Amino acid sequence: MEFFHPVTDFLSSLRWLYLPEIFLPKQSAAFVEPSIPRVNEAGLRLIKLSEGYRAKPYYCAGGICTIGFGTTMDADFKPVTMGHPTINLEIATELFERDIAIFSAGVLEDVKVEINDNQLSAMTSLAYNIGQCAFSSSTLLRKLNRGDYQGCASEFWKWRRADGRILSGLVKRRALEKELFLS
């Protein structure tokens, strides 16, 4: 019968720290480290095309003050207001890239199943548009995390409303997101 001894077992696990690299166990050739999905160019184009670029603040269809490529927070993470100064394309792109990194990290944190770059890109586009909280509590995410990829894809169309109205721009965006998700 083997007994667990916390101090001895802990110390023996540390022995690898003191041995030269050649004595460390080798990973088998069959072991492949899983790659982390990334938002790809198709996803970035989809979001930029859907959001458009505006140098001056404006209210989006959902009534939120926005600037650049749909950014709602300025460089200091303060909410954009109508009194916010105009921004050029370079600053808008920097804010966009920052926001995409934040939203894609949020999506990756919420997703518990394996996804590819296209799926991450489509869901990041959705989260960028509806907000991370709405994405995190969505049926779309619950279906995905149950392994129902087709069911997840069928949920994109449900997010085509702003202030209770179906908007043609959101209908097109959701169709593009679904197509990207399934490709």
Q: What is the 3-state secondary structure (H, E, C) of 84-132?
A: CCCCCHHHHHHHHHHHHHHHHHHHHHHCCCCCCHHHHHHHHHHHHHHCH
Would you kindly state where each structural domain of the chain is located, as residue ranges?
42-182
> How far, in Å, CA of 154 to CA of 73, rounded?
30
β pairing state of 65-68 and 54-59: antiparallel
pLDDT at residue 32, as a whole number: 55
Contact 38, 117 (CB under 8 A): yes
Q: Which of 1-5, 12-16, 31-35, 167-171 has the highest mean pLDDT?
A: 167-171
Q: Is the pLDDT of residue 134 over 90?
A: yes
Buried (b) or exposed (e) across 28-45, using 16+ Cβ within 10 A? eeeeeeeeebebbebbbe
Q: Is the pLDDT of residue 12 over 80?
A: no
Q: What residues are annotated to the active site?
A: 51, 60
Q: Over pLDDT 90: what percentage of the chain?
A: 78
Q: Is the pLDDT of residue 16 over 80?
A: no
Contact 181, 118 (CB under 8 A): yes
Mean pLDDT of 34-46: 92
Q: How many CA atoms lie within 13 A of 68 on its CB side?
A: 24
Amino acid at site 107: V
> How far, in Å, CA of 164 to CA of 160, rounded?
9
- Cβ neighbours around 140 below 10 Å, total: 23
CATH number for the domain formed by residue range(s) 42-182:
1.10.530.40
Per residue in 62-112, pLDDT tens? Answer: 899 999 999 999 999 999 999 999 999 999 999 999 999 999 999 999 999
